[in-house]
C-alpha cells in the first residue's frame, strides 16, 4: 500500500525557516516524480514544487511565489522527500501535502501537515 | 505558466440530477505526439486531501464510480457527474500537468439543492 506521511510542520515567525519531510513507502520511490502542494485556510489548491526522479538542480520546479525561498529535495536511498522553507511569510500559512505523480496525474497524497507563519 | 479557470464557482443540483463543471486552460494542453490531453480532475472534501477522479482528460481512476465522466480537448474540458449523490458534495478542481510545474483551477463547489 502506498503511504506518504508528512512531518515537520508547526508555528514559526515571519522570516523564519521550517523543513518539511515526507516519508514514502509501498512503492519504488526513486521511480516517481514527487510534489509539494499547499492549501491556505479556506482557499484552493496551489502547486508549490515538483522534483523529477533523480532530483538534480535542473529537475526541480517551483511556483514563482516561493522561488529563491523554498527548496525541494529528495533522498532516494531513504525514500524521503523534503521541502526546506526559508524567509517564511504570513501568506505561506497552509496545509502542505506531499504527493506522488503516477501516470500523468498525481495519484497519491499524504494527509498533510500544517504550517502557520505568524507576524 | 498555464492558467486554469473553472465555471461556475459553485452549483446546487438536486439528488439524482446531473452536475456539469467546465474548465479552461490558457493554452492548449493537448500533446499531439501521444494524442493526450494533460488534464486531471480532483474531488476534495473538507479536512481531506484531494482525490483524483479523472486523468488524461477522460480516463476514470480505478475505483471511481462511472457517474463521473471527463471530456474535452485542447483548452476546454468538462467534468460531468450523473445521478448526483449526497457523497458527491465537495469542491472539484481541474489541474494541468502539461508543463513541469502543474497548476490547478480555482475549484467549483457542488452542493445539493
Cβ–Cβ gap B101/A47 under 8 Å:
yes
Hey, what's the cell of B68? 463521473
Model pLDDT, residue A56: 83
Contact A97, A112 (CB under 8 A): yes
A105 contacts B40? CB cut-off 8 A: yes
> Above pLDDT 70, what percent of chain B?
100
Contact by Cβ (8 Å): B20, B80: yes
pLDDT single digits (tens) B43-97: 999 999 999 999 999 999 999 999 999 999 999 999 999 999 999 999 999 999 9
Question: Is the pLDDT reported for residue A55 higher than 90?
Answer: no
Residue-averaged pLDDT of chain A = 96
Q: What are the CA-CA distances from residue B38 to residues A14, A52, B73 (Å)?
A: 37, 17, 9
Residues B10-48 pLDDT 10s: 999 999 999 999 999 999 999 999 999 999 999 999 999
Tell me whether B1 touches chain A (CB under 8 Å).
yes
Q: Is the pLDDT of residue A47 over 90?
A: yes
Place of cell 519504488: A28
Please list every residue in chain A whose beta carbon sits closer than 8 Å to the beta carbon of residue B49.
97, 109-112
Tell me what the mean pLDDT of segment A83-92 comes to: 98
pLDDT at site B101: 86
Backbone torsions φ then ψ of B72, nearest 5 degrees? 115, 170
The answer for B29, left when phi > 0, alpha when psi is -120 to 50, beta otherwise, is alpha
Chain B residues near residue A97 by CB distance under 8 angstroms: 49-50
Please give the Cα distance from A34 to A100 (Å, whole number): 5
HEC readout, A15-78: CCCEEEEEEEECCCHHHCEEEEEEECCCCCEEEEEEECCCCCHHHEEECHHHCCCEEEEEEHHH
Amino acid at each position: 500500500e502506498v503511504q506518504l506521511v508528512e512531518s515537520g510542520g508547526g508555528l514559526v515567525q515571519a522570516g523564519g525557516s521550517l523543513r518539511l519531510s515526507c516519508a514514502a513507502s509501498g512503492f519504488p520511490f526513486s521511480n516517481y516524480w514527487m510534489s509539494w502542494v499547499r492549501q491556505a485556510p479556506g482557499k484552493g489548491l496551489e502547486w508549490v514544487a515538483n522534483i523529477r526522479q533523480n532530483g538534480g538542480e535542473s529537475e526541480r520546479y517551483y511556483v514563482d511565489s516561493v522561488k529563491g525561498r523554498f527548496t525541494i529535495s529528495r533522498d532516494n536511498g531513504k525514500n524521503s522527500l523534503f521541502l526546506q522553507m526559508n524567509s517564511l511569510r504570513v501568506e505561506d500559512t497552509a496545509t502542505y501535502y506531499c504527493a506522488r505523480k503516477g501516470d500523468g496525474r498525481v495519484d497519491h497524497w499524504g494527509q498533510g501537515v500544517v504550517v502557520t507563519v505568524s507576524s | 505558466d498555464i492558467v486554469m479557470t473553472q465555471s461556475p464557482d459553485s452549483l446546487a443540483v438536486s439528488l439524482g440530477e446531473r452536475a456539469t463543471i467546465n474548465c479552461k486552460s490558457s493554452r492548449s494542453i493537448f500533446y499531439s505526439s501521444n494524442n493526450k490531453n494533460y488534464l486531471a480532475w480532483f474531488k476534495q472534501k473538507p479536512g481531506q486531501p484531494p482525490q483524483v477522479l479523472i486523468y488524461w482528460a477522460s480516463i476514470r481512476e480505478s475505483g471511481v464510480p462511472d457517474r463521473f465522466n471527463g471530456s474535452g480537448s485542447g483548452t476546454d474540458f468538462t467534468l460531468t457527474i450523473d445521478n448526483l449523490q449526497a457523497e458527491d458534495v465537495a469542491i472539484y478542481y481541474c489541474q494541468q500537468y502539461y508543463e513541469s510545474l502543474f497548476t490547478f483551477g480555482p475549484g467549483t463547489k457542488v452542493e445539493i439543492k
